[in-house]
């Protein structure tokens, strides 16, 4: 019997308003013989190139300096390299240990754009790259052993930034994540039901299961306690940005008869006609055709409440594959 185990790897990058760090991932297989099992381990290590030398778990630091309002500044390029023995995919980046100025914060007037081999993977503020806000991007597959990827960073200071920001500085750590090509994305394969988690806190609460059909993305809410006289659902969708580009809100009340049902869609791209609601099953369905054709998937945050004056609870952003 051949057994396979998938392990996710993380590249921790240090950002001195800049960037460094990495992580490892291994793909293990076992080979059975008539006498014993032999385990052969490969390594997946995301690293970089510093001063011409391959390094593990980090890559070159880039410093932000000489920012001017209204003028984009190219911070420079740094190399991500597969210094292991197995191919992998890059799929996420997050920021942590953000150290910013007192109010007003420098982050409030800065927009960061990150590209990997020319493909944009993020545009937004450093504070919008915290782990709870996702940071997922369309996976970059098949980074082969020895292959290098160029990561470019650009910063824009808002044209409206005043003199108060002169001389200010900020720093953070940036983490880039790698995983084996074979690790399935949530939503793959088609028809598989994926538990996306449970909203934190006690009752009332909810969990959500996601699944794809040929033509729709479906999110099924399961409430605890079950159906009440009022329910509110909210989906926030974004793609390689810091803030959601589309918000879908659904509200149902049976305080009066007949019950009131309302769906509100705001933002770009998705129209009300792209949304189908299974009111009895608490399932919100979105037509895949509503999403841009060049998206492999999207980030989604799922929220809800069961009392009109209750607190909205959320399942943090996570990636969902369009599987098309």
The answer to whether 91 and 140 are in contact (CB under 8 A) is: yes
The residue ranking higher by pLDDT, 110 or 40, is: 110
Question: Quick one: pLDDT at residue 283?
Answer: 94
List the helix and strand counts (H, then E) for the chain. 0, 24
The answer to whether 246 and 237 are in contact (CB under 8 A) is: yes
Query: What are the chain's domains?
Result: 4-179 (no CATH), 194-321 (2.60.40)
Q: Say what percent of the chain tops pLDDT 70.
A: 77
74-97 residue pLDDT tens? 877 778 888 888 888 999 988 888
Q: Exposure pattern of 10-43 as b/e (b: 16+ CB <10 Å)?
A: bbbbbbbbbbbbbbbbbbeeeeeeeeeeeeeeee
168-215 residue pLDDT tens? 777 777 788 888 888 899 999 999 999 999 999 888 899 999 999 999
Cβ partners under 8 Å of residue 245, min gap 6: 237, 238, 239, 267, 268, 269
Res 162 pLDDT > 60: yes
The residue ranking higher by pLDDT, 149 or 95, is: 149
Question: Quick one: pLDDT at residue 24?
Answer: 35
| pLDDT band at 26; cut points 50, 70, 90 | very low
Instruction: Average the pLDDT over 92-115 and give the result.
Output: 84
Tokens of 245: 């580009």
pTM of the model: 0.82
Could you tell me whether strands 313-321 and 297-305 are parallel, antiparallel, or unpaired per DSSP bridges?
A: antiparallel
Res 11 pLDDT > 50: no
Picking from 324, 285, 318, 64, the residue whose alpha carbon sits closest to that of residue 197 is: 318
């Amino acid at each position: 019997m051949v057994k396979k185990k998938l392990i996710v790897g993380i590249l921790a990058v240090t950002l001195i308003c800049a960037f460094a760090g990495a992580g490892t991932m291994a793909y293990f297989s076992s080979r059975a013989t008539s006498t014993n099992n032999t385990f052969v381990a490969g390594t997946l290590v995301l690293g970089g190139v510093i001063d011409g030398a391959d390094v593990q778990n980090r890559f070159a630091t880039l410093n932000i300096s000489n920012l001017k309002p209204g003028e984009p500044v190219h911070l420079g390029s740094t190399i991500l390299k597969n210094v292991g023995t197995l191919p992998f995919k890059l799929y996420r980046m997050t920021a942590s240990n953000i150290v910013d100025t007192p109010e007003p914060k420098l982050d409030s007037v800065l927009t960061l754009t990150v590209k990997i081999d020319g493909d944009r993977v993020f545009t937004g503020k450093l504070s919008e790259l915290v782990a709870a806000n996702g940071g997922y991007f369309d996976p970059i597959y098949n980074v082969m052993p020895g292959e290098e990827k160029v990561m470019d960073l650009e910063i824009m200071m808002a044209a409206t930034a005043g003199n108060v920001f002169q001389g200010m500085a900020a720093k953070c750590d940036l983490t880039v994540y790698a995983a084996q090509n074979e690790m399935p994305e949530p939503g793959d394969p088609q028809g598989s039901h994926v538990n996306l988690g449970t909203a934190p806190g006690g009752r009332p609460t909810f969990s959500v299961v996601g699944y794809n059909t040929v033509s729709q993305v479906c999110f099924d809410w399961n409430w605890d306690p079950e159906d009440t006289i009022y329910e509110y659902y909210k989906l926030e969708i974004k793609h390689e940005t810091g803030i959601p580009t589309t918000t879908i809100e659904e509200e149902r009340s049976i305080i009066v008869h007949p019950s009131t049902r309302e769906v509100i869609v705001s933002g770009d791209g998705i129209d009300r006609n792209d949304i189908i609601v299974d009111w009895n099953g608490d399932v919100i369905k979105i037509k895949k055709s509503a999403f841009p054709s060049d998206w492999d998937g999207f980030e989604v945050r799922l929220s809800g409440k069961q009392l009109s004056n209750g607190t909205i609870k959320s399942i943090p952003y996570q990636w969902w594959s369009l599987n098309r």
